[in-house]
Amino acid sequence: YGGNKAPELITCMHEESAVAMAHGYFKAEGKPMLVAAHGTVGLQHASMALYNAWCDRVPVYLVIGNYNDAAVRRPAEWYHGVQDAALMVRDFTKWDDTPWSLTHFAESAVRAYNIAVTPPTAPVVLVLDGILQEQGVDINKLPAIPKTPVPTAPQGDTASVEQAARMLVAAENPVLVVDRLARTANGMKLLVELAETLGAGVIDQTSRMNFPTRHPLNQSLRAAAAVGDADVIVGLEVADFWASVNALRDQLHRSTRSITKPGAKMITITTGDL
């Protein structure tokens, strides 16, 4: 259909591999890919890969089917239909919706994309009713499709950013801990510029390619020692900042201890709180 262009359709053998492909596509291209999967059982297959995307903050756009009206008796579709199809993945998706009309679908489809690609990015799910997909419609009465807004990355409070900047400039031995900081290729260049300007050591936790491994300020292989020597420690998009400044003895009797020196100042900046 249409020469398989705009959009190109790629047939996959399993829902989990389909979502994994969308995950990798975003990491390579910086754009989300849509995955169309079977409802209920297909979503169960996709759920593990969807969870991976959630953990990696990758905006997978997942569309599944469902028959929302239980009175519609069709063999496989009837016993595969559920009351709340997206429930099983709601804890690790950013947003979901079940449109009940074409107007509702047009608005939700645009909203889902916008929510998915706005940091912190994450997967979204649209549940499309089978009857709504199949029933005919007057081509001259199609609903308007809203324009897709271009989201901008959230920014920190100006006063707080200035305070953090003053603390870094005044520090004798600042350290930057980074995890999912570099959302674009330019992110690494900006981090190198910041580290070199401050003379700050950088600990890269590698959820993104944040900092050159051979840069002399890269302290990743001596992270605990670098944190222990620092007087100001800044976490930038770190998933678990607590674990960056504490040591956990994970044995039968667990114990923790701080690895920072007394009086060290700590700052964490992340869209994860959003």
223-273 pLDDT, tens digit each: 999 999 999 999 999 999 999 999 988 888 889 999 999 999 999 999 887
Residue 102 belongs to domain spanning: 2-141
43-63 pLDDT, tens digit each: 999 999 999 999 999 999 999
Contact present, 69 and 52 (Cβ < 8 Å):
no
Structure tokens, 18:
């389909």
Give me the CATH number covering residue 262: 3.40.50.1220
**pTM of the predicted model as reported, rounded to 2 decimal places:** 0.86
Residue identified by tokens 């389909």 is: 18
Give me the CATH number covering residue 53: 3.40.50.970
Q: How confident is the model at residue 185 (pLDDT cuts 50, 70, 90)?
A: confident
Residues 25 and 129 in one domain: yes
Residues 10 and 124 in one domain: yes
Mean pLDDT of the chain: 92
In a domain, 98, yes or no: yes
* Number of separate domains in the chain: 2
Contact present, 258 and 246 (Cβ < 8 Å):
yes
Contact present, 128 and 88 (Cβ < 8 Å):
no
100-154 pLDDT, tens digit each: 999 999 999 999 999 999 989 999 999 999 888 888 888 888 888 888 887 887 8
Tell me: pLDDT of 188 over 60.
yes
Mean pLDDT of 159-168: 96
